[in-house]
Amino acid sequence: MDHDGAITWSEPRTDWEPAEENFPDGLGSPEWLSELGRLRQECPVAYSDRFGGFYTLTRYADVCQAALNHQVFRSGQQFLRMPSLLTIPGKLNPPEHVVYRRMMNKYFTKERVEALGPLMRRCAAEHLTAMIERGHGDAARDFAQPFAAQALAAALNLGEDAYCDLLEHFVEIDSAGWDPDTLNTQMVAVFSRHIARLVAQRRAKPLDPDADLISGAMAMQIDGEPLPDDSVIAVGVSVIGAGHSTTADALSSAMFRLATDPPLQALLRHDPDLIPSAVEEFLRLDSPLPEMTRRTSSPVELSGRTVPADVLVALNYGAANLDPDEFTSPEACIVDRAPNRHLSFGHGVHKCVGAPLARLELQTALGELLTRTRSFRLSASPQPAPGMVLRGFANLPLSFLSAR
């Protein structure tokens, strides 16, 4: 105690325990969402001693402030549970980050992404047809995961059947389980091996660097020197690692929401023009990657609490997306919500470069699903995505009534 009798703390006291054993049903469970709501109201800058100690931001205004202030909230370790995953430009900060991001932006422009639309519709139709004709299927494993892999392979010019290889790599990663150290090692090994092989293929048979991201990274120079292969590989790891699971999980979450809400299905079938805004609302409610991590370069005050220098801070986008100070009736699904400034693609300089591609994938997949069915519903209890990094479903058993 100090001389006035007030308690002082040499170390921050623990405000919450975000342990997997406390939330066995994952990031979308009612218990998890209730705890985030409690923190947002009672302790919006909350400390936990897990992972060496970190703070969590749960209010929309605080998360936005931190995401925009890259001078104080520095990138490097992007995930609490995977401390050494090497990605570029995600782990970098301006001005170095800007050089890579400028190179990557041109591959995800609205025009380039929209050019993939016909291929995406064909891919969605192919993966849906067998399930719908059969009347049932695992919509996560048989549709969301292969469709997201196929769209990503197309965007990266990997070839018509390359998505099968991508899926094999994701299965290999899943086999590691969700022990953080094992998962981290497995992800680095699998993705690095896959991208290293792709880099070797591009060196043997170059593509136009203005039309191919990996070729563009290989042609890139910094201070007059070409990127070393490990940096090119880290760019590829960033795109493939972030571009598949997040989109597949967002799609599985959207399908779950529709499968458990027949009136919402009917509304979107009747008015498909609502699908783009519905996708934004689904992303807000079920953020597939709810949290990213920064490290403070200096002390900073947020919501009345001083966060010290050189500590990890989790920007909880999922909690911010449910903040009643930003969103009216935040837990309600309002498919024509406007404005909808959700943070599911991040915010600031690190906002997801592939957001236009993900949006088109989700709109296309849900549009095809709703067009080809009269209804669909859960046929068994789904299995949430394992671990505490991504939010979605590992399997999603649905039954279908065809539109034919």
CB 351 within 8 A of CB 345: yes
Question: pLDDT tens across 169-201, in order?
Answer: 776 666 655 566 676 677 667 777 778 888 898
Q: Does the structure show a pLDDT above 90 at 23? A: no
Lowest mean pLDDT among 166-170, 274-278, 339-343, 387-391: 166-170
Whether residue 12 is contained in a domain is answered as: no
Whether residue 43 is contained in a domain is answered as: yes
Whether residue 5 is contained in a domain is answered as: no
How far is CA 73 from each of CA 155, 231, 288, rounded to the nearest angstrom?
A: 31, 23, 22
Count of domains observed in the chain: 1
The HSE-up count of residue 197 (CA atoms within 13 Å, CB side) is 10
Question: pLDDT tens across 95-152, in order?
Answer: 999 999 999 999 999 999 999 999 999 999 999 999 999 999 999 999 999 999 999 9
| Length reported for the chain | 404
Confidence of residue 279 (pLDDT cuts 50, 70, 90): very high
Whether residue 124 is contained in a domain is answered as: yes
How far is CA 345 from each of CA 90, 105, 244, rounded to the nearest angstrom?
A: 13, 15, 14
Whether residue 1 is contained in a domain is answered as: no
Closest CA to 250 of 239, 238, 240, 258: 258
| CA dist., res. 139 & res. 146, Å (int) | 10
How far is CA 298 from each of CA 19, 46, 349, rounded to the nearest angstrom?
A: 28, 18, 19
Provide long-range contacts, Cβ within 8 A and 24+ apart, for 39-46. Answer: 39/15, 39/319, 40/319, 40/322, 40/323, 43/15, 43/16, 44/302, 44/303, 45/302, 45/303, 45/304, 45/305, 45/307, 46/15, 46/16
Q: Please tell me the predicted confidence (pLDDT) of residue 7.
A: 35
Whether residue 15 is contained in a domain is answered as: no
Sign of the alpha-carbon dihedral angle for 210, 211, 216, 217: positive
| CA dist., res. 235 & res. 240, Å (int) | 9
Residue 95 tokens, joined: 């001005």
Q: How many CB atoms lie within 10 A of CB 186?
A: 17
Closest CA to 278 of 388, 363, 153, 394: 363
Q: Provide the domain limits for residue 312.
A: 20-402
* CATH code for position 123: 1.10.630.10
Average pLDDT over residues 39-59: 96
Question: pLDDT tens across 323-366, in order?
Answer: 999 999 999 999 999 999 999 999 999 999 999 999 999 999 99
Question: pLDDT tens across 204-242, in order?
Answer: 998 999 999 999 999 999 989 999 988 998 898 888 878
Residue 59 tokens, joined: 């209010």
Confidence of residue 2 (pLDDT cuts 50, 70, 90): very low
Q: Which residues pair with 296 in a beta bridge?
A: 73
Closest CA to 117 of 369, 318, 380, 364: 364
Q: Please tell me the predicted confidence (pLDDT) of residue 229.
A: 87
Question: pLDDT tens across 62-74, in order?
Answer: 999 999 999 999 9
The residue type of 261 is: D
Provide long-range contacts, Cβ within 8 A and 24+ apart, for 121-124. Answer: 121/364, 121/368, 123/147, 123/150, 123/151, 123/154, 124/364, 124/365, 124/368, 124/369
Whether residue 157 is contained in a domain is answered as: yes
Whether residue 75 is contained in a domain is answered as: yes
Considering 186-190, 224-228, 370-374, 400-404, the range whose residues carry the highest mean pLDDT is: 370-374
Tell me what percent of the residues of the chain surpass a pLDDT of 90: 70
Sign of the alpha-carbon dihedral angle for 157, 159, 160, 166: negative
